[in-house]
Copies of this chain bind each other. A is one copy, B any other.
Amino acid sequence: MAVLPPGVSQRTLDAALAEWRSAIGSEWVFTSDEDIYGYRDSYSILWGTDEERIPSAALAPASVEQVQQAVRIANKHKVPIYPVSTGRNLSYGGPSPNVRGTVVLDLKRMNRILKVDDTRNFCLVEPGVTYFDLYNYIQERGLKVMIDLPDPGWGSPVGNSLDHGVGYTWGPFRDHFVSHCAMEVVLPNGELLRTGMGGMSNADTWQDYKYGTGPSTDGLFGQGNFGVVTKMGFWMMPMPEAYLRGMVYAPKFADVIALVKTVNFLEDQGIIGMPNYGSPARTAALPFNKPADPDLLALMANGYPSVEQVDAYVAKKGVPAWSVQLQFYGPRKTVEANWEYAQAKMREAIPGATFDGVYRTDLPVPKERLDEVVLRHMGIPALEIFNIVSRNESHGENPPDGHNNCVAIVPRTGESLMTFSKAVIEGMRAVGDMRPWSPFTTPATWHPRTFLCGPSVFTQRNDPESNARNKRLYESLVDTYAKYGWVDYRCTHAFQDRVVSKYDFNNHALMRFHELLKDAVDPNGIISPGRYGIYPRSMRRTRA
């Protein structure tokens, strides 16, 4: 495949490749079709089209010094590079760059765990370290800290955090960018920057205090393209004594308003870990791997149903409209007291609230009980997530290869959940997607202060027509969300321009500010052009 970065000749690319080979070793500079295949995004909705974000080459440096050299060479030849940590960011671009032809800078060889401290409760890691690596390191040494991790566990704490990724345990740790503490970054000119206390050579507080003295620039490097992050620290949770989970059920559709308020009250004072919302009514309406309930189809057939109509449906099905699984981490007596308190608060707020499914275990979870828990809720890396979404058994003979999550930032209220399904249906119907849908939207709660809502859109490498159709669907969802004030918190390359275009305040002041900074920090535009819609001046389209 003859792919080149925009505005870069084969000759220029070859010159850069030659220098990279001499800087980091020719066995770590990849240009063959076979090698490049591994840097394609197997979840790409653009697979096999001219738009697919195929790299022209890939480099895998082994050290910070080699990264600096690689960046300097890129800058000299104005050849764009796209750093990836482990390239496992599936559904969000995987190992592929934003702009076709960009050279992937693969940091997987930089996989040292530099420090795990279980008295100050932090770690310092390189980008190639995976959650499995970190977990094994901690287990081998018997350190008393819990990891907060995303699914699947093969990803990188550094990469996940830099894409504003998320996890599953207690609020202060679930937002992986919030829980990071300071970075080391190779700037586009090859210079090494350490942020926060790392700015002081002899400070031993680099992973304790985020800011240093003066402004903080870490935010630029999350979902940004201002440098190559080569080290990051993360705050960790000391291993709690015990875990308790319990289910709460709310009978009626509008109970979700009081349910969410009560969960927020518990969450925001740290009483619970991640709440897992569910809807027994939705399970009845759209049973897994079976046809939709005919009563649901009738309910949704004549315009969007009223609250009363939905409640009549729920009553007929004889199940609660909503559920939430509450999780508690802490001392044994504390998790019991907190669960008791949560039930009391729920009873106050929701007439007819019911409870069951209480499960208790000491932490860390004893080996013989591991099959009773969701591993990622316990800070244990796993690949169990691949049972769901595009890889589950519901898809028949030609199952999808992947999915792109079209997940929007939605206010943390029951009202917004009651409206969200309406928007999804609008977005689907606008492109002729007539699949059955229910009024029961349940949010992801990875970010402790906001809801994330939205469906997965499937991708299929052997079916370009399906991809084209699903691309239109995704775009329609993005456009429809925006009418309601919602927008994706994160998305794959193919949709980033569209998503960030929704940030329209004061004629896109936020993007114009990002571009101003980009031009200053990376005048040759060599780091990750196009990432989250930020292009260097040379590639910048006129904003409509």
Contact = CB atoms under 8 A, between A and B. Distances in A.
A348 interface: no
Interface stretch (A309-317, A405-413, A455-463): A405-413
A329 interface: yes
A205 B120 contact: no
Interface string A320-340: 000000000111011011101
A520 interface: yes
A200 interface: yes
B198 A505 contact: yes
A170 B270 contact: yes
A517 B517 contact: yes
A355 interface: no
A350 to B, nearest CB: 15
B410 A213 contact: no
Interface stretch (A29-37, A147-155, A284-292, A495-503): A495-503
Contacts of A50: none
Interface string A209-234: 11111111111111110100000000
Contacts of A170: 269-270
Given A216-B219, A491-B213, A509-B194, A411 B503 contact: no
Indicate the member of A120, A187, A516 with the most B CB atoms within 10 Å.
A120
Interface string A507-537: 0011111101101110000000000111000
Interface stretch (A76-84, A100-108, A235-243, A300-308): A235-243
Given A509-B192, A517-B521, A197 B341 contact: no
A234 to B, nearest CB: 11
Contacts of A181: 449
10 contacts: A119-B413, A172-B270, A177-B211, A194-B506, A200-B505, A208-B412, A215-B514, A217-B219, A337-B337, A517-B517
A233 to B, nearest CB: 10
A219 B214 CA distance: 9
B506 A192 contact: yes
A214 B534 contact: yes
A359 interface: no
Given A214-B532, A214-B533, A120 B412 contact: yes
Contacts of A236: 268
A137 interface: no
A450 B330 contact: no
B330 A340 contact: no
Contacts of A195: 510
Contacts of A241: 341
Given A178-B210, A201-B505, A516-B520, 17 more contacts: A119-B261, A121-B264, A121-B268, A170-B270, A172-B172, A191-B506, A193-B509, A197-B409, A200-B502, A205-B450, A209-B449, A209-B450, A211-B489, A215-B219, A216-B223, A237-B268, A237-B269
A20 interface: no
A517 B514 contact: no
B120 A264 contact: yes
A202 B496 CA distance: 19
A202 to B, nearest CB: 4
A171 interface: yes
B520 A211 contact: no
Given A216-B219, A509-B191, A211 B164 contact: yes
Nearest to A506: B192
Contact of A217 (B122, B220, B237, B482): B220
Nearest to A268: B121
A238 B409 contact: no
B213 A500 contact: yes
Given A217-B219, A268-B237, A505 B205 contact: no
Contact of A504 (B177, B201, B341, B509): B201
Given A200-B502, A212-B510, A215-B221, A449 B120 contact: yes
A502 B203 CA distance: 10
B271 A331 contact: yes
A205 B411 contact: yes
Nearest to A337: B333
A485 interface: yes
Contact of A120 (B411, B512, B532): B411
Nearest to A345: B331
Contacts of A164: 211
Contacts of A511: 199, 214
A47 B31 CA distance: 66
Nearest to A414: B119
A486 interface: yes
A191 B505 CA distance: 11
Contacts of A377: none
A465 interface: no
A52 interface: no
Contacts of A338: 330-331, 334
A19 B145 CA distance: 60
Contacts of A210: 178
A490 interface: yes
